[in-house]
Amino acid sequence: MWTTLSVFILCFFSPVCCVFQKLYCTLSDSCDCDFKPNIRDLEWDLYKNVYGQHLAQEIVSEEVARFLQEKNPERPLVLSFHGSSGTGKTLVSSMLGGHLYGSAMSSPYVHQFIPTLHFPLANRVDEYRTELKTWVQGNLTECARSVFIFDEMELMPPGVVDVLEPFLGPFHVVFSTNYRKAIYVFISTTGEEVINRVTLENRQAGRDREEIRLSELQDAIAQTVYNSSHSGFFQSSIIQQKLITAFVPFLPLTRLHVERCARSQLCQQGHCQRADVVEAVGGDMSYSPTQGRFFSTTGCKAVPAKINLFL
């Protein structure tokens, strides 16, 4: 504590502060790189602003709280989000990153990857692997509490993220850096069929949506991810070695949820009173299956476009 304080006092007066501080942080592993986690705010945000996703709310809140309680975690936190388009996966990953740092999602320690942008060519897997490894290593040396979000994993060429295997396990300090404080979030639509089927069967059986348990889905998602060549984890040792802390299912959204999305977005635009637009947006979405039309095929994704249409 006193050593940390004295480093910062010294840094304040010295022009060589940055170099000195970086060196100190690497060696002592005790600098917090603007890490100001606010679990209460994260939980509140999840419960208030994410609709119809009781499993994601529970798992993300619990796993993040448990992970951050440990001063020296045994392994990094690795979450894998699954579900159909527009169900809130990217939204929840932003909430997670947003409540960990002083500067929220604009923090230089929250890193987002999009395969079509960062890893577009399947024939350059070897290059991507080398780049990704060096880059993750560099960022973890800079800040052990870094967050890495890999969105749209179904478009990730197979083999790229496998290079992260040594970082995800309970391994000891490598190159003088503690890799076990990092948080990784992988996001994909892989597994949507099984998630949507279980949610439909649950509904047809007359049960509450909230009765669906993670245990009904976890193994099926893990298997699908491992066996699918479009999951980013095709036959990956990361899955084989069970390095994913938790698979997080996002359930298909109903008309009620879509209307909540519409209401919330209308309010943000200053049109809280427009129940007619909420109703029109809900009525204009496409729902599946043909019999029952329970679930929105695009989740809440098309809501802004529909609002513009009806407002």
Residue 11: count of CB within 10 angstroms of its CB: 16
CB of 107 vs ligand ADP, minimal distance in Å: 19
CB of 232 vs Mg ion, minimal distance in Å: 14
CB of 190 vs Mg ion, minimal distance in Å: 13
Q: Return the number of the residue (167 or 295) whose C-beta is nearest Mg ion.
A: 295
Among ligand ADP, Mg ion, none, what binds residue 86 when CB lies within 5 to 8 Å by partner kind?
ligand ADP
- For residue 24 the two structure tokens come to 């100190």
Of 212, 144, 221, 213, the residue nearest 186 (C-alpha): 221
Q: Return the number of the residue (144 or 225) whose C-beta is nearest Mg ion.
A: 225
Q: Return the number of the residue (163 or 185) whose C-beta is nearest ligand ADP.
A: 185
Q: Return the number of the residue (136 or 253) whose C-beta is nearest ligand ADP.
A: 253
Nearest-angstrom CA–CA distance, 40 and 50: 15
Alpha helices in the chain (DSSP H): 2-13, 17-28, 39-49, 54-69, 89-98, 115-118, 125-142, 165-168, 192-204, 218-227, 237-240, 255-268, 275-284, 303-310
CB of 92 vs ligand ADP, minimal distance in Å: 7
Nearest-angstrom CA–CA distance, 89 and 250: 7
CB of 191 vs Mg ion, minimal distance in Å: 14
Site size toward Mg ion, by CB under 5 A: 2
Residues 77-116 that bind Mg ion (CB under 5 A): 89-90
Q: Enumerate binding residues for ligand ADP (CB under 6 A).
A: 50-53, 85-91, 253, 261, 299-301
Among ligand ADP, Mg ion, none, what binds residue 300 when CB lies within 5 to 8 Å by partner kind?
ligand ADP
Q: Return the number of the residue (25 or 56) whose C-beta is nearest Mg ion.
A: 56
Biggest CA–CA distance in the chain, Å, is 71
Among ligand ADP, Mg ion, none, what binds residue 88 when CB lies within 5 to 8 Å by partner kind?
ligand ADP
Q: Return the number of the residue (57 or 236) whose C-beta is nearest ligand ADP.
A: 57
CB of 102 vs ligand ADP, minimal distance in Å: 23
Q: Return the number of the residue (21 or 90) whose C-beta is nearest ligand ADP.
A: 90
- The whole-angstrom distance between residue 64's C-alpha and the CA centroid of its chain comes to 11
CB of 192 vs Mg ion, minimal distance in Å: 12
Cβ-proximal residue to ligand ADP, closest one: 88
Q: DSSP string spanning 103-153?
A: TGGG-TTEEEE-HHHHS--GGGHHHHHHHHHHHHHHHHHH-TT-EEEE--G
| Residue 279, amino acid | E
Partnered with residue 101 across adjacent β-strands are 35
Nearest-10 crossing angle of helices 2-13, 17-28: 160
Nearest-angstrom CA–CA distance, 40 and 65: 9
Residue numbers at the binding site for Mg ion (CB under 5 A): 89-90
